[in-house]
C-alpha cells in the first residue's frame, strides 16, 4: 500500500505552457484528504517550493536542493546537508575562468555575480528572489546549499558533469535540466530525502511512490517502492523507472496516482 507520494515539480506537475492543471491540483488534494502523505521534491529553494504547495492548496514537507534541505511547510529545518566550501570555491574559480554562469545558494538565499540573461531566464515565473554580489568570495560558505552552473550548450553541460564527477567524487553532481549542472553534498539526493521522511513518518521507502522527469529524479525513483517516470522525461530516468506514465501536459501524474495509489486504470 502506498502511504506517501513524492513528486518533482517542473516537468512533472508543472509546465510553463499550462502551469499546474486543475486535475493535478484536485488529485493531490484528494490524496491528502484520504490520509496519503504528499511531499514535493525539487532543486528549487524552500520559498519557491512553498509557493507551489500554496498553489496546490496543501501543507506538506518540502524537499529542496535535490535533498540538501528538507523543510516542513512552515519552514522548520528537518534535515540539511551542506556543500563543502573548499570544493565549492575551487569550482567557482574554474567557472569564472570559463565564463560559466553560476547560481550560489547560501542559507536558502540565491546569489549571483552577474545580472545576466541566465538568471533572468532561470527565475522566469518561479517567484524566486535573488541578490547580486560583487564577488562570491564575500559570502560565508559555512551553510552552502548548492551551486548551479548554467550554460546553453547541452554537450558542454554533459562534459562538465563528467569532469566534475571525476575530479570530485565526494560531491553530488547531476543534470536537472538540459542546461543545468547541479553541485551539492554527496548525500543531498531526493532518494536520501525520501528515506529520511519515510522513517520520520513511520514507514519504509518501499511504501512510497515517487515521480519525476529528469536525471536529478533518478535517485528517488530508484529508492521508492514505486518509481514513475514521465513520458516527457529523459531516457536515463525512464530506464530506471518501474513505470512510465503520460506527459505532464496529459496529466501523467494523475494517471500514475490512479494506477498505483487507487489501483484503477485512468479513464
Domain boundaries, the chain: 4-80+188-260, 85-185
DSSP-based helix, strand, coil % in the chain, nearest 5: 40, 25, 35
Write down the pLDDT at residue 218.
Answer: 97
Q: What is the mean pLDDT of residues 97-109?
A: 96
Given pLDDT bands bounded at 50, 70 and 90, which one contains residue 263? confident
Sequence-separated (6 or more) residues with CB below 8 Å from residue 82 = 68, 142, 143, 144, 145, 185
Q: Does domain 85-185 correspond to CATH entry 3.40.1190.20? A: no
Write down the pLDDT at residue 261.
Answer: 97
Sequence-separated (6 or more) residues with CB below 8 Å from residue 84 = 170, 171, 185
Q: Mark out the alpha helices in the chain (DSSP H runs).
A: 22-33, 46-56, 85-97, 117-123, 154-167, 190-201, 218-223, 235-240, 252-260
Say how far apart CA 236 and CA 234 lie, in whole Å. 5
Tell me whether domains 4-80+188-260 and 85-185 share a fold.
no
Q: Which residues pair with 192 in a beta bridge?
A: none
**Tens of pLDDT along 220-249?**
999 999 999 999 999 999 999 999 999 999
Sequence-separated (6 or more) residues with CB below 8 Å from residue 147 = 83, 88, 91, 92, 102, 103, 104, 105, 182, 183, 184
Sequence-separated (6 or more) residues with CB below 8 Å from residue 86 = none
Percent of the chain whose predicted confidence (pLDDT) is above 70: 98
Looking at per-residue pLDDT, the higher value among 154 and 267 belongs to: 154
Chain mean pLDDT for the chain:
96
**Tens of pLDDT along 28-64?**
999 999 999 999 999 999 999 999 999 999 999 999 9
Strand order from edge to edge, sheet including 130-132: 130-132, 109-112, 101-106, 144-150, 180-185, 171-177
**Tens of pLDDT along 123-148?**
887 768 899 999 999 999 999 999 99
- Residue matched to cell numbers 548551479: 148
Write down the pLDDT at residue 124.
Answer: 80
Give the fold, CATH level 3, of 4-80+188-260.
Rossmann fold (3.40.50)
Write down the pLDDT at residue 141.
Answer: 97
Tell the burial category of 223 from Cβ atoms under 10 Å away from its Cβ (0-12, 13-18, 19+): buried
| Cα angle, residue 242 at apex, residues 240 and 245 outer, rounded to 5° | 105
Q: What is the mean pLDDT of residues 151-173?
A: 97
Q: What is the mean pLDDT of residues 92-112?
A: 96
Given pLDDT bands bounded at 50, 70 and 90, which one contains residue 267? very low
Write down the pLDDT at residue 126.
Answer: 72
Closest alpha carbon to 181 in 212, 144, 154: 154
Write down the pLDDT at residue 266.
Answer: 57
Say if residues 241 and 218 touch (Cβ distance below 8 Å). no
Q: Is the pLDDT of residue 5 over 90?
A: yes
Q: Is the pLDDT of residue 180 over 90?
A: yes
Amino acid at each position: 500500500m502506498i502511504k506517501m507520494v513524492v513528486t518533482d515539480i517542473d516537468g512533472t506537475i508543472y509546465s510553463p505552457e499550462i502551469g499546474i492543471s486543475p486535475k493535478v491540483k484536485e488529485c493531490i488534494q484528494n490524496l491528502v484528504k484520504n490520509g496519503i502523505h504528499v511531499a514535493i521534491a525539487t532543486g528549487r529553494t524552500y520559498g519557491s517550493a512553498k509557493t507551489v504547495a500554496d498553489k496546490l492548496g496543501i501543507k506538506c514537507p518540502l524537499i529542496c536542493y535535490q535533498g540538501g534541505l528538507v523543510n516542513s511547510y512552515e519552514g522548520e529545518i528537518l534535515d540539511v546537508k551542506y556543500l563543502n566550501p573548499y570544493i565549492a570555491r575551487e569550482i567557482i574559480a574554474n567557472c569564472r575562468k570559463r565564463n560559466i554562469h553560476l547560481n550560489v545558494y547560501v542559507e536558502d538565499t540565491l546569489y549571483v555575480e552577474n545580472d545576466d540573461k541566465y538568471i533572468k531566464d532561470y527565475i522566469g515565473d518561479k517567484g524566486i528572489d535573488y541578490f547580486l554580489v560583487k564577488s562570491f568570495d564575500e559570502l560565508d560558505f559555512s551553510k552552502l546549499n548548492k551551486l548551479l552552473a548554467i550554460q546553453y550548450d547541452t554537450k558542454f553541460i554533459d562534459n562538465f558533469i563528467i569532469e566534475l564527477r571525476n575530479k570530485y567524487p565526494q560531491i553530488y553532481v547531476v543534470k536537472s535540466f538540459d542546461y543545468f549542472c547541479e553541485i551539492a553534498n554527496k548525500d543531498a539526493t531526493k532518494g536520501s530525502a525520501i528515506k529520511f521522511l519515510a522513517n520520520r513518518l513511520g514507514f519504509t521507502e518501499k511504501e512510497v511512490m515517487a515521480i519525476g522527469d529528469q536525471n536529478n529524479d533518478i535517485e528517488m525513483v530508484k529508492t521508492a517502492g514505486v518509481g514513475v517516470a514521465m513520458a516527457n522525461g529523459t531516457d536515463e530516468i525512464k530506464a530506471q523507472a518501474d513505470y512510465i506514465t503520460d506527459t505532464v501536459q496529459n496529466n501523467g501524474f494523475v494517471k500514475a496516482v490512479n494506477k498505483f495509489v487507487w489501483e484503477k486504470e485512468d479513464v
